[in-house]
């Protein structure tokens, strides 16, 4: 699966992949990298974006929990988040995107398997102005890149 892909198609496709498939380990080289350092990569979410201008900060190592990060990795993550936050402020001003920058972790729910997200730790970043998470899902999000 290549290129910009809407969320519903991405989730359907993910369900067809083997259980040990990692969406982030296996798509390296296909992502549009915005910035990176020794521990983390900040990329455009081309597959399954929730909202326009959604990006991801992903550790280079396949780790599942934040507690697996080394102190150095945590420092490197903080540096990238600070840079991303500054870039988002500029972007939102220039493009007149309303709202604030939302940053959150997303984990796979092993109990229900409803959330067929990857278990490779990742941070979601996106402009957000809604009130309830369900209302921010935008089926055309994949069409707007950083």
Which residues of the shown chain bind Zn ion in the complex (CB under 5 A)?
A: 22, 24-25, 62, 120
Minimum distance between the CB of residue 82 and Zn ion, rounded to whole angstroms? 24
Side by side, the strands of the sheet bearing 40-44 are 33-36, 40-44, 55-59, 123-128, 100-105
Minimum distance between the CB of residue 135 and Zn ion, rounded to whole angstroms? 30
Residue-by-residue DSSP string for 64-120: SSGGGS-HHHHHHHHHHHHHHHHHHHHHHHHTT--SEEEEEE----TTT------SS
Minimum distance between the CB of residue 127 and Zn ion, rounded to whole angstroms? 26
Closer residue to Zn ion (CB): 65 or 140:
65
Closer residue to Zn ion (CB): 31 or 144:
31
Closer residue to Zn ion (CB): 26 or 140:
26
């Amino acid at each position: 699966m290549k290129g910009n892909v809407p969320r519903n198609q991405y989730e359907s496709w993910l369900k067809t992949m083997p259980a040990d498939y990692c969406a982030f380990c296996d798509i390296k080289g296909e992502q549009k990298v915005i910035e990176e350092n020794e521990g983390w990569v900040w990329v455009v979410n081309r597959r399954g974006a929730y909202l326009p201008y959604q990006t991801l900060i992903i550790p280079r190592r396949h780790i599942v929990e934040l507690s697996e990060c080394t102190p150095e990795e945590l420092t490197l993550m903080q540096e990238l988040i600070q840079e991303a936050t500054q870039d988002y402020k500029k972007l939102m001003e220039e493009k007149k995107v309303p709202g604030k920058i939302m940053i959150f972790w997303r984990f796979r729910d092993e109990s229900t398997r409803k959330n067929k997200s990857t278990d490779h730790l990742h941070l979601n970043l996106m402009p957000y102005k809604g009130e309830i998470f369900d209302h921010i899902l935008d089926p055309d999000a994949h069409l707007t890149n950083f």
